[in-house]
Structure 1
């Protein structure tokens, strides 16, 4: 079975919580009685819940502990008397800033008071256009404290993608970093900030982290003596996260104060064994849900070690020396980061306890690479922006098996379904059969929950279909094989095909287009763009397409190839057939990959059937 490691963690919170019982029995009990499970979890961490969980007729109608007063920031700042640091910030120049727990409390209350003074009230939205620094964390905590809703888009997103997200959430305050470094290059985002302010009409005030040519308040100059008290309930909004935009504008998903608190203390405290003795670091930007996940380490009193920049710059040695110098105990990154280290031939040494990865599957060879020089608890995790947690996760009580994830999380009724909606032990669709508290309470601008229902509940009746291929083994370990839907996942960062189509639709000579991503066995990711043109393809057209993508989305989102096709496959309802094309190119049985009768132009698939011979030489990840 390939056991690589057995965690030797005594007295873990997981061990205490399940009272030394068998994990698999504890898991079964947790999904058998969700109300009892979540109440016992809250009690274990000293949180009082009032009311109960009540399953509605469907997922969206379920209710969670409606009578509970609870506030994320209040729980974080209960740790203000802890010794040590709340945040250690590191940038590419390896400069550091350390913030004590008491300093964090003072900064958060100061900003929260100021936000009230400039007119913010419970329910208003505060937006960040900001890099991964301490200002982002302080801003989020201050917004949460006064019942405002946080939302954030990082600066590596193209301007169009930023504006389309903020125009949905309508923030009243924008908190922005005008300057930052990445990969040794200085970036000035002043003009982008000005464009955001003009385009997002709801913005009334701007706070910047550095003095610049914008009518704004400077973060470090803000002072307030306003008395601040929280007044939030379990189901009040905490933050807005955005989907990748596969079928048009990104879905703006609102998650609750209490739902996130419960999910994150479970995921981080029980499953990742994070505590006040931990130093927790995850390589992420502020748009990725892993930033939100990482910040919740503060709920458990851990120190966050945050890195602002490219971990490959100025060199791998410098980055890993900084990690070990700062005594990071829990380190995580997107799986492609570790694949990249392996391919570069760099052998890192980590002196902490846990290494995690997410964003895409970790190939077995990368497990071998990490264990070549490290005796460490390695446990990839998997979840999604839509629930902002991991439902396939780590476990300090279980062995690490090569190429697999350790277990399904407590309270997550995850299963694998075949195309008929029946449970299977073969590879199937990852589904969640009962609600989880961090699922969105609603989408913005979604009358009747239509987009919400279409996104997750249109495939199987009243069962959440997540869009991953999964296999669950008899011992409870899991393999995720990649996306079953059309979301792209290049270099561990998910983005929707809709972001590409909105650009391509404006480009001369492009009649139609389709883009897919193919996971390869070696951990690489192949992302071809297929275009239907009104002329023959040439270097100028390809260059123009790539330049427009860089301008709107960024360099990391450029496709590997631009390929001319006779036609783009469409369903009878006019939808591009991205998933069937991905299946064909991934080696799926052709007769089961698509339904000719559901197509406007079934002959268009012949190109992709021929093209797959070329892709098969790249060894796409097979579904067994």
Structure 2
């Protein structure tokens, strides 16, 4: 992909820059250091050259209290230790934002209702639930788990758990009992917090059988607490209203101060190739990173409504909850983004007066193909940013947001991961947005692009690496003696440097282009290519619903690069359509990206968080047994794996 100089689709106005929290922070840094920063790039360079100085400044800017001792010791990764001797609790920095003039949480539903959770209710229920958990014997280091949809009770359960110094973990109820057990069961939790079911697509999904399975299969449980969400009765459980009641005059939250790196929550790898890895993050690292990412990078503050369409299974749920750390109102929605109409998410944004709305490239592309005009059909005058993650955002879809949502709306495409529960790069309020690109690396992220020998790559495709530690890197993997799996996951390829597993290009203007996962690399004649570049152009065709490209090394030394397409209803793969697909790839990306074969598939399997199963399916097509290569419970449609196992290379 060429590194020319495209025209930005959005540029900050002088007022945007003057009013941005980042501008005030930059002035604060200048006053402290005596260094002038002419632009964001200069500030970023300082933030990665003086890592301890940067994070101490973030700490002071957000007034996090008195830190003790050094900011960072043992800097070589993965042995970095942050703020040793400092004690804190994530929940204290939610409590300090309590207010009476706006809601803490908005709760819209598919049927048009909109409920508000006040800050008083949020904190009162958190306090009473924390006391109930303590009475059940839950203390610092114990585990409380949630099997819940994206409802406010999930937020309250997390805050109550964290306030005690206990460890929270959750997955959404779209996960089967088996998939939830693979994740939550390994923690040996004391308490399960759940609900009777959830509403999605106009239907009630009864989850009581799954709850029974979890309760029966996790012997460590002392209690199950059930939220009456859809009007069903969960037997042999405690009532949510009894253990998290809301009464005026309830005493405040009694938080437990814990070490900076004390576990806050456990998130999980996709689990498509085995038992999901439990990724543990600490109180202090998450607090610092999320304040920076939301307050400085995204310019989210007390006047904002922050709405990301997500689930407790996905790190973006944790990321959205962090809106409470900066005093924003957050939105909990457990319904469909496309029911009862394809533009439901835009309707929700209008109803909640969202200022920052988060979604996926797939949803935006579906809206574009459906001919939806959000700015004409909904009042989006409050909206200033559309956040996008989960996959690379094509330039054409980014431009659709400009033209159909609003030219005043900035697109913040972000890329990071569950591993650091944040973004490495994304939108910045003071930096332009270029179509199909992430505007800049985030402050404090020593992002680089390396070749296989560890040499920097500029203007071409390289491995995404992070060369200096970040406070939200995992404190450990669960059940990983000696940190063997942790070190293997990120530090084996380049010792002392974090390799994330994405292909990126760093442009001359400081932006970042993401090409897809490097562990599913397409490699023709020694030229490495990212599958996302193909998806960008093919998925824009109205006849195509979904796409998957794989590079298969053959036993005879050959190389086969098939593309699987899911066609829209009523479409056939005619020879003219086949030629048009190949031509648009050839003209828009390169001749090397043209697939060897185009094969119609009944569907493309994804992880529960929407990522295509490129690596497992490559192994299946190379002859691997589906039962050994893929864990069915981690896949949205496991039956599709068997179909891919029947695929053979066509004889041309």
TM-score, structure 1 normalization: 0.80
- What is the alpha-carbon distance in structure 2 between the residues aligned to residue 555 and residue 36 of structure 1? 36
**1:553-568 alignment runs, 5 A limit:** 568=623
The reply to whether residue 306 of structure 1 matches residue 332 of structure 2 is yes
Partner of residue 255 from structure 2, selected from 223, 229, 232:
229
Partner of residue 7 from structure 2, selected from 2, 10, 30:
2
**1:123-202 alignment runs, 5 A limit:** 123-202=141-220
List per-residue Cα deviations over 1:236-269 (Å, max 9, x = no partner).
1110000112542111011000000000000000
The reply to whether residue 269 of structure 1 matches residue 295 of structure 2 is yes
Partner of residue 43 from structure 1, selected from 60, 67, 72:
60
List per-residue Cα deviations over 1:133-158 (Å, max 9, x = no partner).
10000100111111111100111123
Shift of 1:60: 2.4
Q: Structure 1 pair 562/396, CA: closer, same or farther in 2 (3 Å)?
A: closer
CA contact (8 A) 2:226 2:234 kept: no
Q: Structure 1 pair 473/97, CA: closer, same or farther in 2 (3 Å)?
A: same
CA contact (8 A) 1:53 1:62 kept: no
**1:230-309 alignment runs, 5 A limit:** 230-309=256-335
- What is the alpha-carbon distance in structure 2 between the residues aligned to residue 257 and residue 130 of structure 1? 22
- Please identify, of 46-55 and 277-286, the stretch whose mean Cα deviation from structure 2 is larger: 46-55
List per-residue Cα deviations over 1:67-86 (Å, max 9, x = no partner).
22211111101112352111
Q: Structure 1 pair 484/566, CA: closer, same or farther in 2 (3 Å)?
A: closer
Partner of residue 93 from structure 2, selected from 66, 72, 75:
75
Shift of 1:192: 0.3
Partner of residue 383 from structure 1, selected from 416, 424, 432:
416
The reply to whether residue 17 of structure 1 matches residue 25 of structure 2 is yes
Q: Secondary structure at the match of 1:230?
A: coil
Shift of 1:486: 4.8
- What is the alpha-carbon distance in structure 1 between the residues aligned to residue 283 and residue 471 of structure 2? 10
Q: Tell me which residue corresponds to 1:464.
A: 498
Q: Tell me which residue corresponds to 1:423.
A: 456
List per-residue Cα deviations over 1:269-305 (Å, max 9, x = no partner).
0000000011000010111000000100100000002
- Please identify, of 420-429 and 313-322, the stretch whose mean Cα deviation from structure 2 is larger: 313-322
CA contact (8 A) 1:336 1:523 kept: no
Shift of 1:355: 0.7
- Please identify, of 349-358 and 205-214, the stretch whose mean Cα deviation from structure 2 is larger: 205-214
Q: Secondary structure at the match of 2:220?
A: coil
List per-residue Cα deviations over 1:285-341 (Å, max 9, x = no partner).
111000000100100000002221111001145542331132110001122111111
CA contact (8 A) 1:83 1:101 kept: no
List per-residue Cα deviations over 1:562-601 (Å, max 9, x = no partner).
999885279xxxx989xxxxxxxxxxxxxxxxxxxxxxxx
- What is the alpha-carbon distance in structure 2 between the residues aligned to residue 454 and residue 99 of structure 1? 43
Q: Secondary structure at the match of 2:519?
A: coil
Q: Structure 1 pair 85/242, CA: closer, same or farther in 2 (3 Å)?
A: same
Q: Tell me which residue corresponds to 1:29.
A: 46
- What is the alpha-carbon distance in structure 2 between the residues aligned to residue 63 and residue 24 of structure 1? 27
Q: Tell me which residue corresponds to 1:436.
A: 470
The reply to whether residue 216 of structure 1 matches residue 237 of structure 2 is yes
CA contact (8 A) 2:343 2:367 kept: no
Q: Structure 1 pair 60/214, CA: closer, same or farther in 2 (3 Å)?
A: farther
TM-score, structure 2 normalization: 0.77
Q: Structure 1 pair 372/251, CA: closer, same or farther in 2 (3 Å)?
A: same
Q: Tell me which residue corresponds to 1:580.
A: none
Q: Structure 1 pair 396/198, CA: closer, same or farther in 2 (3 Å)?
A: same
- What is the alpha-carbon distance in structure 1 between the residues aligned to residue 519 and residue 197 of structure 2? 36
Q: Secondary structure at the match of 2:374?
A: coil
Q: Secondary structure at the match of 1:401?
A: coil
Q: Structure 1 pair 228/189, CA: closer, same or farther in 2 (3 Å)?
A: same
CA contact (8 A) 2:313 2:609 kept: no
Shift of 1:479: 0.5
Q: Structure 1 pair 417/569, CA: closer, same or farther in 2 (3 Å)?
A: farther
RMSD: 3.1
Q: Tell me which residue corresponds to 1:355.
A: 386
- What is the alpha-carbon distance in structure 1 between the residues aligned to residue 349 and residue 276 of structure 2? 35
Shift of 1:231: 2.2
- What is the alpha-carbon distance in structure 2 between the residues aligned to residue 528 and residue 474 of structure 1? 29
- What is the alpha-carbon distance in structure 2 between the residues aligned to residue 42 and residue 125 of structure 1? 28
Q: Tell me which residue corresponds to 1:586.
A: none
Q: Tell me which residue corresponds to 1:522.
A: 537
Q: Secondary structure at the match of 1:521?
A: helix
Q: Secondary structure at the match of 2:146?
A: strand
Q: Secondary structure at the match of 1:60?
A: coil
Structure 2's unaligned 5+ residue stretches are 1-5, 28-36, 522-530, 540-545, 553-600, 631-646
Q: Structure 1 pair 554/460, CA: closer, same or farther in 2 (3 Å)?
A: closer
- What is the alpha-carbon distance in structure 2 between the residues aligned to residue 442 and residue 252 of structure 1? 9
The reply to whether residue 453 of structure 1 matches residue 493 of structure 2 is no
CA contact (8 A) 2:515 2:532 kept: no
Q: Structure 1 pair 555/322, CA: closer, same or farther in 2 (3 Å)?
A: closer
- What is the alpha-carbon distance in structure 1 between the residues aligned to residue 370 and residue 440 of structure 2? 31
List per-residue Cα deviations over 1:352-404 (Å, max 9, x = no partner).
11111001000011012111131211120110000000111111111111111
The reply to whether residue 406 of structure 1 matches residue 439 of structure 2 is yes
- Please identify, of 183-192 and 54-63, the stretch whose mean Cα deviation from structure 2 is larger: 54-63
Structure 1's unaligned 5+ residue stretches are 488-515, 531-545, 578-606, 615-624
- What is the alpha-carbon distance in structure 1 between the residues aligned to residue 50 and residue 441 of structure 2? 16
CA contact (8 A) 2:620 2:629 kept: no
The reply to whether residue 397 of structure 1 matches residue 417 of structure 2 is no
- What is the alpha-carbon distance in structure 2 between the residues aligned to residue 248 and residue 94 of structure 1? 40
CA contact (8 A) 2:304 2:329 kept: yes
Q: Structure 1 pair 192/569, CA: closer, same or farther in 2 (3 Å)?
A: closer
- Please identify, of 99-108 and 130-139, the stretch whose mean Cα deviation from structure 2 is larger: 99-108
- Please identify, of 351-360 and 555-564, the stretch whose mean Cα deviation from structure 2 is larger: 555-564
List per-residue Cα deviations over 1:125-177 (Å, max 9, x = no partner).
11010000100001001111111111001111232221111122111111102
CA contact (8 A) 1:528 1:563 kept: no
The reply to whether residue 485 of structure 1 matches residue 490 of structure 2 is no
